[in-house]
Amino acid sequence: MKVLVPVKRVIDYNVKARVKADQTGVDLANVKMSMNPFCEIAVEEAVRLKEKGAASEIVAVSVGPQQAQETLRTALAMGADRAILVQTDQDLEPLAIAKVLKAVIAEENPELVLMGKQAIDGDNNATGQMLAALLDWPQAAFASEVAIEGGKAKVTREVDGGLQTLSVDLPAVVTADLRLNEPRYASLPNIMKAKKKPLDVKELGSLGVDTAPRLKVVKVTEPPKRTAGVKVETAADLVSNLKTAGVL
Amino acid sequence: MAVLVVADHDNSTLKDNTHKTVTAALAISGDVDVLVAGSSTAAIAAEAAKIAGVRKVLTADSAELGQGLAEAFQDLVVCLMGNYDAVLTPATTQGKNFSPRVAAKLDVAQISDVIEVVDANTFVRPIYAGNALETVQSSDAKKVLTVRPTAFKAAAEGGSAKVESVSAPAAPAKSHFVDQKIVKSARPDLGAAKIVVSGGRAMGSAEEFQKVIEPLADKLGAAVGASRAAVDAGYAPNDYQVGQTGKVVAPELYIAIGISGAIQHLAGMKDSKIIVAINKDGDAPIFQVADFGLVADYKAAVPELMSALTAAGK
């Protein structure tokens, strides 16, 4: 079974995003960038499926700038077999990314697409579901457990108030939630090996996909700031303060 | 223009998220219909019909809708969108599950997690874990939005909309429900609770988490939350998780115990009215957003808080 894993290069998880003074966006100049944490979980799951013998080949795909090659190298170091970069400097919306991935899937014919549920920059939580709809594939979003058996994926998903298990026919799209696994750190020998693994670069234009933006960003602003309040000395002080504030 | 709101319910009761999403919808148009899709929807539809400002309630019943299958919801909503200019769904896990499929099928953008309706085409949504707010203007003919319920007031009761049933879509061929484990709890729902008590990694174990956090929550009639670190460590289940990657809450009172206040956690609770932090590290970032901070080891502070609450008649 071939597994396709889309990955995204985003601001590092531990860096606080700062809004640009001219309100055009978030300042990403000289900011540490990394693989989106949910994408890492998806790569890890694909590698585990390969280690269990359920997957035969893992193809990592990214749609983004030239620097996204670094993100793909990270996926290769974690255990992906080869990588494809669809190169563009445009900041694409989820619908456009889903269309680009659909075009890549038409060439690659994977049986499973495993991807993160959400990127921590746009926070849309939409691309995987959109891709499944465009392909008319079944989906299992927010997975916390994935098992492949007899041409189906049995997926336990995080739902409101608990867990749900679905069985979806392959090919399918599965999106990874936090508890699916804990991603490994790539070892130094694997990082070295990853440098020799194939990484194809395609120009976005060569795919013939409509990626025109549907949304115009009017402005990006800072949220209202909260200020630190007071320190209280004892639990009893705390309770009387809360009574005064009217929340008890 | 007419707007469709997809109701949030658990096949037995209508959730308040629906009322909040109706408020967002009414900011777009006066013609708001509510869709109740599930299994045995009659009683829920009757509840939805009482929401003030709702024009009509549509119901669709099937086993697959009751199971929340994204493919079934997609087929149903896409089919209804011939009559609507916008569809709004609460940004619950179920809303997030199917709404992007509807957008893709209609070939339009989804505007996720809307916190403000500026006008019928312009919306505000948080990005970068709430560290920035993005105002976007849509040029799509039809709008597909998910709405962050905590950002809107619940629409009042007092309406008397008519209820109409619509036919349910065919069962999805490639997606099958196996089973579901929903945790039954006497506590209020995390997303809707007036008070939330959350524990962090400082708890050290699942047993300690249950021993410390849960009795305090029960004393206050509060929901229980947890930081991602506590969830990652296995001290609390994932549906307790408050933060960027979990639930976003905005209760009247949020009590963070042994939580340092990572960016990702703050993203999930900084819109709470009053924030209380109990942490032994006085420099923990949680104190920068807390209205009331108590620098103390939770092991001593929580029992003291329990007694102080008892003394205060709680």
In chain B, the percentage of residues whose pLDDT exceeds 70 is 100
Comparing alpha-carbon positions, the chain A residue that sits nearest to B306 is A235
Chain B stretch 115-134, residues whose beta carbon is closer than 8 A to a beta carbon of chain A: 122, 125-134
User: pLDDT class for B232, splitting at 50, 70, 90?
Assistant: confident
Residues of B in contact with A27 (CB under 8 A): none
Q: Is residue A215 within 8 Å of residue A221, measured between CB atoms? A: no
CB contact under 8 A, A130 and B312: no
Q: What is the arithmetic mean of pLDDT over A15-24?
A: 93
| Closest A-chain CA to B70 | A139
pLDDT confidence tier of residue B192, bands split at 50, 70 and 90: confident
What was the pLDDT predicted at B184? 76
Closest C-alpha among B266, B55, B38, B273 to residue B169: B38
Rounded to 5 degrees, what angle do the CA atoms B190, B194, B196 make? 50
CB contact under 8 A, A182 and B122: no
Q: What is the DSSP letter of B210?
A: H
Beta-carbon separation of B101 and A248 below 8 A: no
Instruction: State whether ipTM is beyond 0.90.
Output: yes
Give tens-digit pLDDT for A171-216. 999 999 988 999 999 999 999 999 999 999 999 999 999 999 999 9
Cα gap A146→B151, rounded to integer Å: 34
pTM, entire model: 0.93
Residues sharing a CB contact under 8 Å with residue A218, sequence separation 6 or more, in sequence order: B122, B135, B136, B137
Chain B segment 161-180 residues within 8 A of A by beta carbon are 172-180
| Contact list, A139 vs chain B (CB under 8 Å) | 70-71, 97, 101, 175
Lookup: tokens for A50: 């390969």
* Predicted pLDDT of residue A226: 85
How many CA atoms are closer than 13 Å to the CA of B12, on its beta-carbon side? 0
Averaged pLDDT score across all residues of chain A: 96
Beta bridge partners of B242: B247
Q: What does the pLDDT average to over A78-107?
A: 98
Confidence (pLDDT) at B291: 97
Q: Give the residue on B whose Cα is nearest the Cα of A136.
A: B71
How many residue pairs from chains A and B have C-beta atoms closer than 8 A?
Answer: 271
Percent of chain A with pLDDT over 70: 100
Q: Are strands A33-35 and A9-11 parallel, antiparallel or unpaired?
A: antiparallel
Identify the residue among B8, B74, B96, B271 best suited for mutation to test binding to A, counting A beta carbons within 10 A and taking the highest. Answer: B96
Six-digit token string for A202: 């395609």
Contact check, Cβ <8 Å, B135/A126:
no
Cβ B126–A240 below 8 Å, yes or no?
Answer: no
Q: Is the dihedral of CA A133, A137, A140, A141 positive or negative?
A: negative
Evaluate if residue B245 carries a pLDDT over 80: no
Q: Which residue from A29, A26, A33 is spatially nearest to A11, judged by alpha carbons?
A: A33
The predicted-structure confidence for B151-182, as pLDDT tens digits, reads as follows: 999 999 999 999 999 999 999 999 999 999 98
C-alpha radius of gyration, chain A, whole number: 21
For chain B, the C-alpha Rg in angstroms (whole number) is 21
Residues 6+ apart with CB under 8 A from A196: none
Question: Which of B108, B112, B232 lies at the smallest CB-CB distance from A123?
Answer: B112
**Single-letter amino acid, residue B287:** F
The verdict on a CB contact (< 8 Å) between B174 and A241 is no
Single out the residue of B103, B76, B75, B104 nearest to residue B88, CA to CA: B103
**B238: nearest CB among A16, A123, A178:** A178
Interface probe for B, chosen from A117, A123, A210 (most Cβ of B below 10 Å), is A123
Q: Is A147 on the interface with B (CB under 8 A)?
A: no
Residue A245 has pLDDT above 80, yes or no: yes
What is the rounded average pLDDT of the residues A235-246?
Answer: 94
At B297 the three-state DSSP class reads: coil
Q: B183 pLDDT exceeds 80?
A: no
Residue B2's pLDDT is what?
97
Strands (E), B139-222: 143-147, 162-165, 175-182, 195-199
C-beta contacts of A144-153 below 8 A and 24+ residues apart: A144/A177, A144/A178, A144/A179, A144/A180, A144/B238, A145/A180, A146/A45, A146/A49, A146/A114, A146/A174, A146/A180, A148/A1, A148/A49, A148/A54, A148/A55, A148/A112, A153/A112
Band (A73; pLDDT cuts 50, 70, 90): very high
Of A246 and A47, the structure prediction assigns the larger pLDDT to A47
